[in-house]
A and B are shown apart, each in its own frame.
Chain A
Amino acid sequence: MSIALEHAMLAHRVRSQRRARRLLGCLGALVAVALVDLMTGPAMLTVEQVLDALLHGEGTADPMVGIIVHTIRLPMLAMAVIVGASLGLGGAVMQTILGNPLASPYTLGFSAAAGFGAATVILFGLSLPFAPWLTVPLAAFGATAAAAALVYGFARLRGATAEILVLAGIATLFLFQSLQSLLQYLASPEVLQQIVFWLFGSLIKASWSSVAVSGAILAVSLLVLLVHAWPLTALAFGDERARSLGIDVERLRVSMLLVVSLLTAGAVAFVGTIGFVGLVAPHLARILIGDDQRHLLPMSALCGATLMTAAAVVAKVLSPGSVVPIGIVTAVVGVPFLFVLIVRGRSRGE
């Protein structure tokens, strides 16, 4: 090996280590923000109290603390982490398969569809006899599946190019947004308030069962996506080149699209439409770690989870006692953040 090559290989190793360090660093940040989240609320807790409650279950020195941490704050925290990770991951995949920095689970109308499904059952007061708590999530889920089928149908007819998918997605977005508005127009004031509250998104609806469902979807999706990490990376070279590398581009795009619709449904079904994390987290992750999907995918999930948890803390601090819809906070916190990212420019290729 030449000296130049040895230098380059050394740089390659240093880069790999730097990426690993940044992944760990982001994980550390998530843990720290999560701790702050557990401490924050109407009753402020100290770090010791929280750690004590975490270590000893509900049999802590102060049983009240145990109950607050375990039955109220932990499920909400877990949900925030899962929802943030799902949206971050979904956004990263969306941006990759559409080759478009503006793409997110919002872009293709998946979130709007979920909102429409939820609004429908709320408006008509429908309820599943055996599991009422699953009614709204299942409706959101079903509507997301319908949106995915719509986009997929377009793709089957006209070929799954990025342009066709973006167009189909925007059409789907407008369709479901209009339907949503129609339902809101039809609703009585009380029902309207319920619908709007759902649409803004709130962690208050989190429970261990919803955490289990959304968490399982996240875990399976992450695995499937990681298996396709290299083909997804190759998409960055454009369809023709990826195809000439032996990748079935259209099939990859459509199957990844289905995974994203699943992730989105899992994220918003229980807590409502929370946007923005899916747009910002992948950008942040890309700046930190580059486009190699093996690292970008976990990093996007971590960034999403951290942003979401931080937004949850801010929401609690802003209005102790009442619950500010977290969807609003993520947007209000996220927009300036996105501006900073844009102004600083993209330092790519880390």
Chain B
Amino acid sequence: MSLAIAALQVGYARQVVVHDVGAKLAAGTVTALIGPNGSGKSTLLKAVAGLLPHRGTVTLDDRVMGRDRGGAIAYLPQDTGVRAALTVLETVLLGRVRTLGLRLDPALVDDAARTLEGLGLASLADRAVGSLSGGQRQMVLLAQALFRAPRVLLLDEPTAALDLRHQLQVLELVRAQTSARATVTVVALHDLGLAARHADRLMCLSAGRIVAEGAASSVLTEERLRAVYGVEADIVAAREGALGVIPLRAVATGPRPG
């Protein structure tokens, strides 16, 4: 079981933003999507989720998907604005909006509550989402995405507003669920150390093209960081085989700012 992307090309009104992207992503693995601001990470994820028109095909289990992805693909957007007076529990329940009835199935409510508990959010279940901090809201929306139990999980910078402990917790949970449910997971991340530690593979996007993919040690090289990010950085081996990326200074030959 796998997700295959072939010759994907996505653009907005005038300019093409993602060029000819192809990839094959195996079930049960987490792929980290890295790349500078404006390199097209969000655009690529939205296109795969069926939220943007695109050229090329997205194939799940040898079945080419139509415009409506049929609820198989969950996409967690980058921004976390919510303007509704809803509780956290209701927010999570909405993950399965297509199956909810006027009378809530108690088993479903239980399921949603357990998802919250898995993320350590049990005590927030009855709070209004609007009253949460940015980080808490990000966790709740992640819970919503996990509650869908999708075949393909696309997370757009899910740790952007989180503290160290929660970054760790979220990415560990995502990885555990990915292998337990044989999900195809792609996470856009800015923190390269986190990407190296928590993803099975890295995919590096630069100006809308994939310039490298594979294991962290092969993707994260000093030359590549210089070419893609325009940064001179030290890459150091840490404990337990983790990699640390220490940016030293910006170099002149950087990419255009995005």
Binding site for B on A (CB under 8 A): 1-2, 4-5, 7-9, 11-12, 15, 99, 226-227, 229-231, 233-234, 236-238, 240-241, 243-248, 286, 290-292, 294, 346, 348-350
Instruction: For B51, list chain A residues within 8 Å (CB).
Output: 240, 243-244
- Within B96-114, the residues touching A (CB, 8 Å) are 97-98, 100, 102, 109, 113-114
18 A-B pairs (CB sep. < 8 Å): A1-B117, A5-B125, A8-B113, A8-B123, A11-B125, A12-B89, A99-B83, A227-B102, A230-B94, A231-B97, A233-B94, A234-B97, A238-B81, A240-B51, A246-B97, A246-B98, A291-B84, A291-B85
Instruction: For B211, list chain A residues within 8 Å (CB).
Output: none
What secondary structure prevails in chain B residues at the interface with A? mixed
Contact partner of B102 (CB less than 8 A), chosen from A2, A236, A238, A294, is: A294
Interface centre among A233, A237, A290 (most CB of B within 10 A): A237
Complex alpha-carbon distance, A240 and B42, angstroms: 12
Q: Are the CB atoms of A2 and B122 closer together than 8 Å?
A: yes
Instruction: For B116, list chain A residues within 8 Å (CB).
Output: 5, 8
What secondary structure prevails in chain A residues at the interface with B? helix
Complex alpha-carbon distance, A4 and B122, angstroms: 6
Q: Are the CB atoms of B102 and A5 closer together than 8 Å?
A: no
Binding site for A on B (CB under 8 A): 46, 49, 51, 68-71, 74-77, 81-87, 89-91, 94-95, 97-98, 100, 102, 109, 113-114, 116-117, 122-131, 141, 148
Given contacts A2-B117, A244-B74, A244-B75, contact A236 B122 (CB under 8 A): no
Given contacts A12-B89, A230-B100, A286-B85, contact A349 B131 (CB under 8 A): yes
Instruction: For B70, list chain A residues within 8 Å (CB).
Output: 246
Complex alpha-carbon distance, A246 and B69, angstroms: 8
Interchain nearest-CB distance for A33 vs B (Å): 26
Q: Are the CB atoms of A236 and B49 closer together than 8 Å?
A: no
Interchain nearest-CB distance for A287 vs B (Å): 9
Instruction: For A12, list chain B residues within 8 Å (CB).
Output: 87, 89, 109, 125-126
